[in-house]
């Protein structure tokens, strides 16, 4: 069963490389994947939200979610699972970005993106939350496109990011007793 899933993971990446990669899309996907490096774009959003008094609570939720993904996904799970990057294992697979220095599982980019975007989608008006969710999807897919993660790495990153976003949201809501006032989704 596990062997079949690993084989499927590899075949999906080879399919992407063979049939989806192209000279027009590759530079775009490189930029998109770079936005997720070290959670940079999400840190910028958290800082912006923290700087505005009426979105400060959401900014705290975002910061807590980013910290949660750093601790759980990047520091604990990556080192516990220690999964080799796909381009090191799958014959013929090439990667399109700088060589990552950490392990593959789970995708830190996907975890971070969905932790942040989940909160933004649930807590901010749609004109902010929907683009954040779209960006999270694009960053996650870009990790497959550039060949540095298996699909299961990204899928688990997405799931863990969503779970961590709810945990961070609940933690800050419990600690922060002030009423919210930014037209959050209910």
Give me 115's structure tokens: 């932790």
Q: How confident is the model at residue 7 (pLDDT cuts 50, 70, 90)?
A: confident
Largest CA distance in the chain: 55
d(CA 185, CA 83): 37
Residue 186 has pLDDT above 50, yes or no: no
Q: What is the pLDDT of residue 36?
A: 95
Count of other CB atoms within 10 angstroms of residue 123: 26
pLDDT digits (tens, 9 = 90+) for 34-86: 999 999 999 999 999 999 999 999 999 999 999 999 999 999 999 999 999 99
| Mean pLDDT value of segment 133-156 | 98
């Amino acid at each position: 069963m596990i062997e079949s899933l690993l084989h499927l993971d590899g075949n999906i990446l080879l399919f992407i490389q063979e049939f989806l990669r192209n000279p027009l899309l590759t530079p775009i996907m490189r930029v998109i994947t770079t936005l997720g490096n070290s959670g940079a774009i999400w840190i910028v959003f958290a800082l912006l939200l923290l700087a505005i008094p009426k979105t400060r609570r959401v900014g705290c939720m975002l910061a807590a979610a980013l910290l949660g993904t750093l601790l759980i996904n990047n520091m604990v799970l990556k080192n516990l699972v220690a999964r080799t990057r796909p381009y090191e294992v799958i014959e013929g697979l090439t990667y399109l970005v700088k060589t990552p220095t950490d392990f593959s599982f789970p995708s830190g980019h996907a975890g971070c993106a969905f932790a942040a975007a989940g909160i933004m989608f649930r807590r901010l008006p749609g004109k902010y939350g929907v683009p954040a969710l779209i960006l999270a999807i694009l960053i996650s897919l870009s990790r497959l496109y550039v060949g540095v993660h298996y699909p299961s790495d990204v899928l688990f990153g997405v799931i863990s990011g969503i779970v961590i976003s709810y945990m961070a949201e609940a933690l800050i809501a419990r600690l922060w007793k002030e009423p919210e006032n930014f037209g959050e989704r209910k």
